[in-house]
């Protein structure tokens, strides 16, 4: 499920739950050419992970099943034939070639494609004869050529269109399957759907849906059309273009609560400056009035920030449990205190996947360039780094009780004796024992974490590197 799909599902869920209604899962798979193996399972799995529990659906049943459109083919055909009899639809036998020629003609004239009604006035006898002859056909919607059709949308207000501009689209395809436009109207009525939540790209089709509702004498639902989610101004998020799906973010270590919270704010405002909501709180605060008609920009940096805030809100034990699978991937050493590591990491990472890169020095010291010892702000250079590493090694080697408190004590005493700033001693140590510019903790915390033997070994390597560099 891409982010736009999930946001639509979330808003539908919140609208239902905030008004004491039911949230329905329906699988709309009438376009079999676009069917992707396993896609339905992804929908089930995603909704389960994020906690959008539906009241009716294919896997749990309900009073208006089946909830998979490809299993409702006969229902749609029955209503399509009824619509033909009522004069709201007609059989069309136009070949692909004729329609293609018509489409090219419209293109040349610079006008939108619109079926020309070639088969609109065939008599019943002609239709029956052609069907008997085995000719392929579709069933098209019959639209009045004059007048207007209006509908009200909760986000975009009242919209009126000239009927003459509407295309008499296909309702039942030549393979007997309905189009999305027809199947949804039938299902929304039969399943007693009161609120329809979908993307604003369907605004232009809604007048045709209303004409279908009116033809059958059915009640028109409340429409809520959502503006698109954009990755930048003028460019929609698109799974086809490689934009991340919910699953991609989840697998990278974004927390479900953060994703849902962030997506909720992509096009909805609570009317205050508040930014953090649990799903339960969203049910309480969500309102249709807070929906925005402007497209929302998906800012991955804002999502990262929000995810980091959610990580920091966890208890140390909760964070440890979340981090454990990532530790197992990156750390093979058995002597590392992972709870201690969690304490260092929790305030420093924004997504769980960052853990692997943050701790990859623990098992093995990476190869690093001696220039890393040079730090303008810390006032370190190669010469004083070598001097301070040697002196640090001497005091640390004599330490019997290797713990954070004792390490801190002896190094602070050394810094005082040398009469230098803390960074001039601590930066070279941190560089030598991690080989990295950014680490989960400072020099003292890392010395404690790695243990005496490994820490001293790495400091010796740093001394040797600097000496080889001719310092």
Cβ(66)–Cβ(187) below 8 Å: no
Cβ(67)–Cβ(58) below 8 Å: yes
Cβ(429)–Cβ(459) below 8 Å: yes
Distance CA 354, CA 319 (A): 13
Q: Does 390 show up as a binding residue in the annotation?
A: no
Distance CA 79, CA 205 (A): 19
Angle between helices 452-468 and 382-397 (to 10 degrees): 150
Residue 186 phi, psi (nearest 5):
-60, -50
Name residue, tokens 């790209």.
201
Where would I find the H helices in 24-137? 39-50, 73-86, 96-109, 124-132
Tokens matching residue 229: 């989610």
Active site residue 239: yes
- Given 239, 252, 390, 391, the catalytic residue: 239
Distance CA 323, CA 345 (A): 9
Tokens matching residue 344: 């260092």
Three-class SS of residue 230? strand
Q: Extract the annotated binding site.
A: 239
Q: Which residues are annotated as a binding site for ATP?
A: 239
Active centre residues (catalytic): 239
């Amino acid at each position: 499920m891409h982010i736009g799909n999930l946001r639509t599902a979330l808003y539908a869920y919140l609208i239902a739950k905030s008004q004491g209604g039911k949230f329905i899962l329906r699988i709309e798979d009438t376009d079999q050419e676009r069917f992707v193996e396993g896609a339905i399972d992804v929908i089930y799995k995603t909704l389960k992970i994020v906690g959008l529990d539906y009241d009716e659906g294919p896997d749990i049943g309900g009073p208006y099943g089946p909830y998979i459109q490809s299993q409702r083919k006969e229902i749609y055909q029955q209503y399509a034939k009824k619509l033909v009899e009522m004069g709201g639809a007609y059989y069309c036998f136009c070949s692909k070639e004729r329609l293609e020629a018509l489409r090219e003609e419209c293109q040349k004239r610079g006008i939108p494609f619109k079926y020309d009604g070639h088969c609109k006035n065939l008599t019943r006898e002609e239709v029956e004869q052609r069907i008997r002859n085995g000719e392929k056909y579709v069933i098209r919607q019959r639209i009045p050529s004059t007048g207007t059709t209006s509908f009200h949308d909760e986000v975009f207000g009242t919209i009126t269109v000239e009927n003459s501009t509407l295309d008499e689209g296909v309702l039942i395809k030549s393979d007997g399957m309905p189009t999305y436009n027809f199947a949804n109207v039938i299902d929304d009525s039969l399943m007693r759907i009161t609120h329809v939540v979908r993307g604003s790209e369907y605004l232009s089709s809604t007048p045709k849906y209303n004409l279908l509702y009116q033809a059958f004498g059915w009640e028109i639902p409340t429409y809520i059309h959502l503006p698109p989610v954009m990755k930048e101004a003028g460019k929609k998020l698109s799974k086809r273009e490689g934009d991340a799906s919910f699953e991609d973010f989840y697998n990278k270590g974004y927390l479900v609560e953060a994703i849902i919270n962030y997506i909720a704010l992509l096009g909805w405002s609570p009317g205050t400056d508040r930014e953090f909501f649990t799903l339960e709180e969203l049910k309480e605060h969500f309102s249709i009035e807070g929906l925005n008609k402007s497209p929302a920009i998906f800012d991955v940096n804002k999502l990262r920030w929000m995810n980091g805030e959610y990580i920091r809100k966890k208890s140390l034990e909760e964070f440890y449990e979340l981090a454990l699978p990532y530790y197992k991937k990156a750390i093979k050493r058995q002597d590392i205190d992972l709870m201690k590591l969690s304490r260092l990491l929790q305030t420093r990472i924004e997504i769980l996947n960052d853990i692997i890169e943050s701790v990859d020095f623990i098992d093995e010291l990476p190869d690093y360039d001696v220039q890393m010892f040079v730090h303008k702000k810390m006032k370190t250079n190669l010469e004083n780094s070598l001097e301070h590493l040697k002196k640090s090694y001497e005091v640390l080697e004599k330490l019997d009780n290797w713990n954070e408190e004792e390490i801190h004590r002896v190094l602070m005493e050394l810094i005082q004796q040398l009469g230098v700033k803390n960074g001039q001693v601590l930066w070279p140590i941190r560089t030598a024992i991690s080989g990295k510019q950014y680490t989960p903790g400072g020099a003292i915390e890392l010395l404690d974490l790695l243990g005496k033997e490994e820490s001293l070994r790495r400091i010796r390597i740093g001394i040797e590197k600097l000496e080889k560099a001719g310092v």
